[in-house]
Amino acid sequence: MRAQLSHLSPPTHTRRPRGPTLPAHRLPEFPGRVALPGQSRGTPVVPSALEHFNAAPVAQAERALLACLHSLRWAVRVAGHRPYPDLPSLLAACDEAAYDLTPPELAAALAAETLPPLPEDAYSAAHTALDAAHAAYEAKFGHAFVICLDGVAPAEGLDRVLEHIRSRLANDPEEERVVAADELRRLAAERLTRFLTGAADRAPGLGSHSAAGHRA
């Protein structure tokens, strides 16, 4: 993974004026994001979401990436290496670039994370337990708790979050920084995959992924 972009120097750029950024993890629309299967002869082929991402203006591609992981240098680097031949290549490039986040960049990315709402049927004690766990975590490490719950059943999400917060409270700050950085990379890959496969408009919840910060 790390070798994939080793021959590519980060794109040189200057900070240019930028328009308003999207709220965290609100992905922008690309026209015709989802390819239509089974095109008949003579029917125009709808470009895939990845093709739209590859061809999009730089600022638009960067905005989409920032909604997956809030690091401008990471987004600039990944957008600057387009086009990508396939989704695995794009995800590998995202992962490689995320390994180079500096401690301040990692802290900024963590600060941008917010906690999705609990399921509507969650009992009040769950809110109390989760709030207490988050408070203990942030008091010890000074940043938000993040965890990727891709593949975890929605009914198991809350228990998994509480289990991991309590387990990770035993880490020292350096150990937890490494764990949190890894979870951010996994979250970025999941968000981008969902976006490019047409699933980005599904409401996020504890069953898909969770990033703990300040409750809305």
- Kindly report the three-state secondary structure assignment for every residue of 11-55: CCCCCCCCCCCCCCCCCCCCCCCCCCCCCCCCCCCCCCHHHHHHH
User: What is the pLDDT at residue 111?
Assistant: 86
Per-residue confidence (pLDDT) for residue 25, from 0 to 100: 55
What pLDDT score does 94 carry?
A: 96
User: Which domains can be identified in the chain, with CATH numbers?
Assistant: 108-211 (1.10.3330.10)
2-56 pLDDT per residue, tens: 444 444 444 444 444 433 334 445 555 554 433 333 334 444 555 789 999 999 9
- 210 DSSP β-pair partners: 147
pLDDT value, residue 170: 96
Would you say residue 160 has pLDDT above 80?
Answer: yes
Is the bond preceding 104 in cis, omega lying within 30 degrees of 0? no
For residue 98, the number of C-alpha atoms closer than 13 Å in the C-beta half-sphere is 27
Q: What is the pLDDT at residue 211?
A: 41
pLDDT tens, residue by residue, 188-212: 999 999 989 875 443 333 223 334 4
Where helices occur in the chain by DSSP H, the ranges are 49-55, 58-66, 72-80, 87-98, 103-111, 124-141, 154-168, 173-196
pTM of the complete model? 0.69
Mean pLDDT of the chain: 75
pLDDT score at 21: 38
pLDDT digits over 104-147, tens only?
999 899 888 876 666 666 667 777 888 899 889 989 988 888 99
